Amino acid sequence: MPLSKLTLSSNRRLKKRREYLEIQADGKKLYSKQFLIIVKKSERTDSRIGVTVTKKVDKRAVGRNRIKRRIKEIFRLNQFRLNGIFDILIIARHDAHSCNYHDMERQILGTLKAKGYLKDTP
């Protein structure tokens, strides 16, 4: 995979409230221990990701932003493994702040793989 394809440009992110609400209403919900992952088939040319981390997860902005950065990095490195074009919304649950990067990666990718949204090959 060329490195130019491993970027997370602005057209690969969900930005508008309307987009988040549409995915929450129509998407397929997948549950892991510390994350709710909502996946919806997209008609666009690229998969997109949105991340929500509320103050219930971590009171400090530093902690919430760290969780968001880690999730976006997991998506950036594994976006080519998706079995199609999807809009993905990942919502961190109350104890997500206790996860390190590898636990997050294992949970998110394991959940997507178990439901058939992710290819087996790394």
* Chain centroid, CA 88 distance in Å: 6
Residue range 37-58: mean pLDDT, rounded: 95
pLDDT digits (tens, 9 = 90+) for 72-100: 999 999 999 999 999 999 999 989 999 99
Could you report the per-residue pLDDT of 62-73, keeping only the tens digit for each? 999 999 999 999
CATH number of 3-114: 3.30.230.10
Kindly list the domain boundaries of the chain, sorted by start residue: 3-114
Residue 122: pLDDT over 80: no
Report the SS3 class of residue 31.
Answer: strand
Structure tokens belonging to residue 111? 């959940």
Please report how many Cα atoms fall inside a 13 Å half-sphere around the Cα of residue 43, on the Cβ side. 0
